[in-house]
Structure 1
Amino acid sequence: MKLLITGATGLLGSEIVRQLKDYPGNGFVSFVRNQDQLDQFDNPQLGDILDYPSLLEAFEGINIVIHAAAKVSFSPKEKAELFEANVDGTANVVNACLEKGVKRLIYISSVAAIGRPEKDTDTKQPISINESNKWEDSPINSEYAKSKYRAEQEVWRGQAEGLQTVILNPSVILGEADWKQSSTQLFNYVYQRNRFYTDGVINYVDVQDVANAVIQLIDSDIEDKRYIMNAGSVTYAKFFGLMAKGFGVAPPKYKLKPFAIEILWRLEAIRAFIFRTSPLITKETAVTARAKIHFDNSRIKEDLQMEFIPLETSIKRVCNYLLTKNNQRLTVEQK
């Protein structure tokens, strides 16, 4: 059996690659987009999910594809790129699987693809969402959420055409990455001693747990199902407080009122336009930061006997990693 993983250089993809090195079998192929990243992998294949011929070449002789490549952005100006990478790219992966006789596709989606009822914002008690929730067209669904939802439709199409599929829907993935990559930006926000937090709830899961679920699903006969990957939910105040403790800095202490958040994202949009940079907060992230949702993990815990890594353990590990990397950078700069 031979495996291929897309998005091998990302936060989750790189962890899947790390765990796959101990997986018995005929090895795996890391599908890599950039030439200068090839030397990071034992068995890389250069290509792009938007380049269909490169997918066909890479999928030759492959039995199982783990599709972890995606674009994550909440910037309005990147809407077209979001849909191109997440929807068109996933359609290409599904089509290449079908054309090359790939047996099984494990797709990494997002809890965002499940959709959010419009009533979730500013409620006092968290709303619980599970895999049976139906997508609702709502103004609070981000463009990223819409792109992942449409990508899932491509995966279900593949299932209908004979491809074995299973979808994982992780919440915010916590793991070791660059300061400006993925959820590590939240760690950077606290490390930079920012003083504000919102009254929302954040759902989280350790990158090691998501990768472990992927490994378990490789040999599983489970198909045509989706699984929420979520270790728990916590207020932003507690979430940032744990990060601050891990870094040894003061935590954010000023809670932003809804009207202040509305002003902030508009000011940030103006700043980003003037300086031609990506906004630090957008209208979409402002809505998300106030939401109170809990994603139910009952199905994955029952079917795969998953036991999730505690939040405190994840944050401490990532903080230690980032502090070590930052000290190394400062040492290099001082030479």
Structure 2
Amino acid sequence: MILVTGGTGFLGSHLLRKLVNVGEPVRALYRKKIPQQVKDIQHKIEWFQGDVLDVISLEEAMVGIDRVYHCAAVVSFSPGEHATMMKVNVEGTANVVNMAIDAGVRKLVHVSSVAALGRAKAGRLDESCEWQESKNNSKYAVSKYFSEMEVWRGRAEGLEVAIVNPSIILGSGYWNDGSGALIKNAWKEFPYYTQGINGFTDVRDVAEVMYRLMESDVDGERFVVSTDNWKYYDLFRQMAEQLGKKAPHIPVKPWMAEIVWRMEALKSKITGKKSILTKETARTAQMQVFYNSDKMQQALPDFTYIPLEKTIADMCKAFLQDQQQQ
């Protein structure tokens, strides 16, 4: 039987759908409630209330499990959440690894991030990059790097492992966080765009790669999962066009971003609402970063990425349908 941590999250919910569709028996860990995004398939999943920081619940959840997908993590660029993020991402991963070893689990597929490759150098980044301390590394990147270290420790102790390092994941269903928030900005005709470049990939592709790696003989490897490297402007423009909205037209200069994130930080303190734009996100959005996923394509030669144009079209279609139902 399979255990999925983080099954209530964005990637985890899409992974659950993939596993159910191929007929795998699945147990999913949840902390508080089962998300609406999997309402149609929730009866096909064995739900187990627990937490990656609660080793007792993890131990119970691992009973009868031979494969584990570890998706549970905190993704945040807000300074006030850094401590929690480090605890969940690093200590939580250590707990999952330890309990998996104790339970005799055969294989673990761990969700990391391209952020864990580090951004100490320019150019195309891939799995061969060695981590280096750099001011360009976000706190999230640091947490994912150390979580990977826990996974490698697990392999040294006899656990088969594979790690995926997705770039920015795009997909439908969670409109208030991550890539979903980008759709909402396009819907509101947010006029600004940054001049950075980053890697992007479809959430369905990440789930597919994870499944294929789990079912393969791959052990002790990590893989960048990134469809293509795009300018943020091109991403926002296509979103706006699909939604029938005006595309962003005001480029954000670095000095402008430095002012805006400070204003947003002050606004967040006054209102108590979390800001999407922080010091880390403002600076990252100006960087031009390129990711190379050739290694994954060599390991899974039959795999084909969903084009980003289709990903965006599907996201916008789903968003418009949800808007009509409100």
Q: Tell me the TM-score range normalised by the shorter chain.
A: over 0.9
The answer to whether 1:22 aligns with 2:21 is yes
Maintained 8 Å contact 2:48/2:61 = yes
- Take 1:260 and 1:152, find their aligned partners in 2: how far apart are those partners? 35
User: C-alpha separation between the residues in 2 aligned to 1:261 and 1:233?
Assistant: 22
Distance, in Å, in 2 between the alignment partners of 1:151 and 1:253 is 39
Stretches (4+) displaced over 3 A: 35-41
Residue 75, structure 1, aligned to residue 72, structure 2 = no
Give the aligned residue type for 2:90: V
Equivalence for 1:178: 174
The Cα of 1:65 is off from its aligned counterpart by 0.2
- CA-based RMSD of the aligned residues comes to 1.3
Report what 2:4 is aligned to. Answer: 5
Q: Report the CA distance between 1:279 and its aligned residue.
A: 2.0
Structure 1 gaps, min length 5: 121-126, 330-335
For residues 11 and 154 of structure 2, what CA distance do their matches in structure 1 show?
23
The alignment status of 1:213 with 2:213, answered yes or no, reads no
Deviations 1:77-112 (A, max 9, x none): 101110111011101100100111111100011101
Q: What residue is the counterpart of 1:50 in the other structure?
A: 53
Instruction: Give 3-state SS (helix, strand or coil) of 2:284's partner.
Output: helix
1:202 maps to 198
Percent identity for Structure 1 against Structure 2: 40
Q: 2:244 aligns with which of 244, 248, 251?
A: 248
Q: What one-letter code is carried by the residue in structure 1 that aligns with 2:257? A: I
Give distance in 1, aligned partners of 2:273 and 2:320.
26
Q: In 1, are the aligned partners of 2:108 and 2:214 still within 8 Å (CA)?
A: no
Change (3 A) 1:35 1:249: closer
Cα deviation, residue 24, structure 1: 4.3
Could you say which residue in structure 2 is the equivalent of 1:332? Answer: none
- Whole-Å separation in 2 of the counterparts to 1:109 and 1:35: 24
Residue of structure 1 equivalent to 2:146: 150
What is the deviation of 1:304? Answer: 0.6
Of 228, 232, 251, the match for 2:228 = 232
Asked if 1:321 corresponds to 2:318, the answer is yes
* Whole-angstrom distance in 2 between the partners of 1:4 and 1:36: 15
1:183 aligns to what SS in structure 2? Answer: helix
- Equivalenced residue count is 320
**TM-score, with length taken from structure 1:** 0.93
Report the counterpart of residue 273 of structure 2 in structure 1.
Answer: 277
Give the deviation of 1:36 after TM superposition: 5.5
Question: 2:8·2:34 contact (CA, 8 Å) conserved in 1?
Answer: no
Q: Which residue of 2 aligns with 1:112?
A: 115
